[in-house]
């Protein structure tokens, strides 16, 4: 009979002095888990405490986020900070607007994401029940921004369409270089997008269609900005029911003065784009694509087609004619994906218009104009050549780090929603990582070449057989956790799936979703296994470091998050020599459990509020992402643990540990193992007090002896 698993306790509360962000170090216990495998090299032997985290999106994120959206990206370009280059805004399906500041040059755009007070679509929080200084405007699904100086005060204001068919007005109450958007409603918003109710002082917001996409252009060359709005489906306009059988582009002429615009809708007789006959969800944008002095129109759509309506009239009296590839449509053959949304701007300072095209998957394609201003030819720049590119594995990214090629730096792997294990080789150094673009299962450079492991894969690396190289376990969302034995070497791995040798095979059906992690939680010199479903589940290794034998899983009801599944990761968060626990959740939260016991007799206590090491970012995570999969690694070789977080849309958040040596609680010395197996081993630290784990171990040992 297998030995019963010891119980590990947890308490909700706080009974130890804790300095948020000021302590995190490599553990005093041996551990290897998803995303946390330590290289036995001098750079990893002395480990400092973790200090304040700083969330890095692109420039300082080794796995930088794409300049796009979670899905249904609706891009817009504007020089919002008045520095002479075009910045990027992207509406997202969830209802917020991402802001990417252009921190590059006039010849090479380079976008960095901004949040909080640095994003003009965030506002100062006055709700005392929410512990956050700034919150994003939640405008409605698929917001689509467009910019113009609507009140002639020298800065850019915004109209924002959205999925339910209204037009929202945001006045810039800041300045041209430091914008701040304030939503205006009722009589404070330009007509006719708010409608007075009878003779009362009440106003209702008018629904002009569905999936509204506004675009400003001075279409009649009279010196003020007119408005076109792409719509689909139906709605009510000024209280009247309307029916839209397909996509439609509405036209509103600006008949007001420069400082107080008033838009009047024109029907088919006065609408220059009444002839649009394309798909649903049209996304119009205007650009003089042929250099003849008048504005032409491109229109994206839900089917992904990019329509061109060339202006064959004049700048004062436009006349649009749909054109295809034979007529010189420069984007006729480009497949942007569903829900294409184009914008244009000179992104490289060469005098012609380049294109950025959003799509339903959240990407923003960058199309460089390799032609001229009057004879355009577009070429897509991909991967690192594109200023909008970032690391993305499609969905359900679950990162793991390990020095897989024995060159002394940490390489990256990531599970994905499709079940593939993506590989990102570090071609930089241990101190300055540079990762290759993700190599999929069909790339021979990937050690998991040809592996298609069901779906929602989550890899973890551990030398489970003690032979000096890293083996792998891969959890899935298909009631399976698979074992890949490394039959190669520590620097030239060869992973082979070994179902008959899988030490966790008997427990695969315990839950439908596995995200395994490994740690020597009881200090007996071998690696124990954990998963999270309803609670943290502990599989004790009662075998050895070279011949594991895992007991059946014991759900630890005290270590819960209220979720059906989760993504656990261990780290010594407070530099006291034992392993603490963090757990990512489906809703995007990250729970933190401090180990108030010892390295071999853990006792977990959940910490919340300002005692949480990620307190400053919890609201952002819970509102902005789902399926948070945390993992710790010293990615920059500075002796402290940084944090990567995978998420449902396949991207990687990076929290850099910015602790300055000597300002935290000291360091936790770590001694590299002498067999170069890529583990860190350290001494245990004793603590006085009750030891529930040891007590339960003794009780179970007595029970096993009795049963035998």
HSE, side-chain direction, 13 A CA sphere, residue 601: 15
Identify the band that residue 243 occupies on the pLDDT scale cut at 50, 70 and 90: low
Give the residue among 474, 533, 481, 538 at the shortest CA–CA distance from 508.
481
Identify the band that residue 109 occupies on the pLDDT scale cut at 50, 70 and 90: very high
Omega within 30 of 0 (cis) for the link into 534: no
191-207 pLDDT, tens digit per residue, is 899 988 887 789 999 98
Q: What is the distance between the alpha carbons of residues 473 and 402, in angstroms, rounded to a whole number?
A: 13
- Measured from the Cβ of residue 316, the count of other Cβ atoms closer than 10 Å reads 10
Identify the band that residue 430 occupies on the pLDDT scale cut at 50, 70 and 90: very high
Residue pair 620/118 in contact by the 8 Å Cβ criterion: no
68-93 pLDDT, tens digit per residue, is 998 999 999 999 999 999 999 999 99
Judged against a pLDDT cut of 50, whether residue 327 lies above it is answered with yes
Judged against a pLDDT cut of 70, whether residue 705 lies above it is answered with no
C-alpha separations of 24 from 18, 57, 572, 578, 608 in Å:
11, 21, 6, 11, 17
Higher pLDDT residue, 693 or 408?
408
Helix (H) or strand (E) holding 698: helix 692-707
DSSP 521: T
Give the model's pLDDT for residue 620. 78
Structure-block tokens of residue 209? 């269609």
Phi-psi region of 74 (alpha: psi -120 to 50; beta: other; left: phi over 0): beta
DSSP 81: T
Torsions phi, psi of 441, nearest 5? -70, -15
Q: What is the pTM of this model?
A: 0.83
Give the model's pLDDT for residue 609. 86
Identify the band that residue 245 occupies on the pLDDT scale cut at 50, 70 and 90: low
Output b/e per residue, 56-87; b: 16+ Cβ within 10 A: bbbeebbbbbbbbbbbbbbbbbbbbbeeebbb
Q: Within the chain, how many helices (H) and strands (E) appear? A: 2, 51
What are the structural domains of the chain? 63-385 (2.115.10), 398-657 (2.115.10)
Give the residue among 30, 15, 62 at the shortest CA–CA distance from 391.
62
Helix (H/G/I), strand (E/B), else coil: 146: strand
Helix (H/G/I), strand (E/B), else coil: 159: strand
368-425 pLDDT, tens digit per residue, is 999 998 899 999 999 989 999 999 999 999 999 999 999 999 999 999 999 999 999 9
Per-residue pLDDT, averaged over 110-127, amounts to 94
CA dihedral 91, 376, 109, 152 (to 10 degrees): -60
Give the model's pLDDT for residue 220. 93
260-270 pLDDT, tens digit per residue, is 899 999 987 89
Output b/e per residue, 612-644; b: 16+ Cβ within 10 A: bbbbbbbbbbebbbbbbbbbbbbbbbbbbbbbb
| Contacts for 199 with CB less than 8 Å, ≥ 6 apart | none
Average pLDDT score, the chain: 84
How many Å separate Cα 253 from the centre of its chain? Answer: 39
Give the model's pLDDT for residue 457. 96
Give the model's pLDDT for residue 22. 25
- Residue with token string 């958007």: 181
Higher pLDDT residue, 163 or 658?
163
Q: What is the distance between the alpha carbons of residues 92 and 98, in angstroms, rounded to a whole number?
A: 7
Per-residue pLDDT, averaged over 544-571, amounts to 93
495-524 pLDDT, tens digit per residue, is 999 999 999 999 999 999 999 999 999 999
Rg (CA), the chain: 28
Identify the band that residue 644 occupies on the pLDDT scale cut at 50, 70 and 90: very high
Q: What is the distance between the alpha carbons of residues 355 and 54, in angstroms, rounded to a whole number?
A: 32
Helix (H) or strand (E) holding 90: strand 87-91
Q: What is the distance between the alpha carbons of residues 36 and 25, in angstroms, rounded to a whole number?
A: 12
- Name 298's bridge partners: 285, 308
Per-residue pLDDT, averaged over 157-164, amounts to 96
């Amino acid at each position: 009979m297998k030995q019963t698993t010891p119980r590990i306790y947890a308490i909700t509360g706080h009974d130890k002095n804790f300095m948020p962000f000021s302590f995190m170090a490599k553990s005093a216990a041996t551990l290897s888990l998803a995303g946390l495998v330590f290289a036995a090299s001098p750079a990893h032997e002395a480990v400092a405490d973790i200090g304040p985290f700083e969330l890095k999106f692109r420039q300082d994120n080794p796995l930088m986020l794409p300049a796009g959206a979670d899905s249904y990206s609706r891009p817009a370009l504007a020089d919002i900070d008045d520095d002479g280059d075009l910045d990027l805004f992207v509406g997202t399906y969830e209802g917020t607007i991402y802001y990417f500041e252009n921190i590059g040059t006039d010849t090479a755009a380079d976008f960095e994401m901004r949040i909080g007070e640095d994003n003009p679509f965030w506002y100062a929080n006055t709700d005392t029940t929410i512990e956050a200084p700034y919150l994003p405007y939640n405008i409605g699904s698929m917001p689509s921004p467009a910019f113009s100086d609507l009140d002639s005060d020298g800065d850019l204001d915004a109209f924002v369409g959205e999925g339910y068919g209204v037009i929202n007005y945001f006045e810039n109450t800041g300045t041209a270089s430091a914008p701040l958007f304030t939503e205006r409603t009722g009589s404070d918003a330009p007509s006719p997008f708010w409608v007075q109710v009878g003779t009362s002082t009440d106003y209702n917001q008018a629904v002009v269609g569905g999936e509204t996409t506004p675009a400003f252009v001075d279409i009649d060359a009279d010196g003020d900005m007119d408005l076109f709005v792409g719509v689909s489906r139906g709605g009510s306009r000024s209280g009247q029911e309307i029916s839209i059988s397909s996509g439609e582009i509405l036209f509103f002429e600006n008949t007001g003065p420069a400082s107080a615009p008033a838009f009047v809708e024109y029907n088919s007789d006065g609408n220059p784009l009444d002839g649009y006959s394309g798909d649903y969800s049209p996304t119009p944008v205007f650009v003089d694509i042929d250099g003849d002095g008048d504005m032409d129109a491109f229109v994206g759509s839900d089917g992904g087609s990019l329509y061109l309506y060339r202006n064959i009239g004049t700048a004062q009296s436009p006349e649009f004619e749909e054109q295809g590839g034979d007529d010189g449509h420069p984007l006729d053959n480009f497949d942007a994906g569903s829900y294409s949304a184009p914008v244009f701007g000179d992104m490289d300072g060469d005098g012609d218009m380049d294109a950025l095209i959003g799509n339903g998957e959240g990407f923003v394609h960058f199309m460089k104009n390799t032609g001229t201003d009057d004879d355009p030819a577009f070429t897509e720049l991909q991967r690192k050549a594109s200023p909008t590119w970032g690391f993305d594995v499609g969905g359900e990214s679950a990162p793991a780090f390990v020095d897989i090629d024995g060159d002394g730096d940490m390489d990256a792997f990531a599970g994905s929603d499709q079940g593939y294990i993506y590989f990102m080789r570090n071609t930089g150094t241990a101190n300055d990582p540079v990762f290759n673009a993700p190599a999929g299962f069909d790339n021979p450079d990937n050690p998991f070449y040809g592996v298609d492991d069901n779906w929602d894969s989550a890899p973890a690396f551990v030398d489970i057989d003690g032979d000096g190289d890293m083996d792998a376990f891969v959890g899935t969302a298909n009631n399976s956790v698979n074992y890949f034995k490394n039959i190669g070497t520590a620097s030239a791995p060869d992973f082979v799936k070994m179902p008959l040798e899988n030490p966790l095979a008997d427990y695969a059906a315990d839950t439908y979703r596995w995200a395994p992690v490994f740690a020597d939680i009881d200090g007996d010199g071998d690696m124990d296994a954990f998963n999270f479903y309803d609670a943290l589940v502990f599989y004790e290794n009662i075998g050895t470091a070279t011949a594991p034998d895992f007991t059946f899983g014991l759900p630890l009801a005290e270590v819960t998050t209220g979720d059906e599944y989760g993504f656990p990761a261990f780290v010594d968060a407070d530099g006291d020599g034992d392993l603490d626990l963090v757990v990512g959740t489906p809703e995007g939260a990250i729970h933190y459990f401090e180990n108030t016991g010892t390295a071999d007799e853990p006792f977990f206590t959940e910490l919340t509020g300002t005692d949480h090491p990620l307190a400053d970012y919890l609201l952002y995570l819970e509102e902005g992402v789902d399926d948070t999969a945390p993992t710790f690694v010293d990615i920059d070789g500075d002796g402290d643990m940084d944090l990567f977080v995978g998420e449902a849309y396949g991207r990687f958040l990076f929290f850099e540990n910015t602790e300055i040596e000597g300002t935290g609680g000291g360091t936790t010395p770590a001694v590299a193992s002498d067999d170069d197996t890529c583990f860190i081993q350290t001494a245990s630290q004793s603590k006085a007090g009750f030891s529930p784990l040891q007590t339960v171990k003794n009780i179970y040992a007595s029970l096993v002896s009795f049963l035998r």
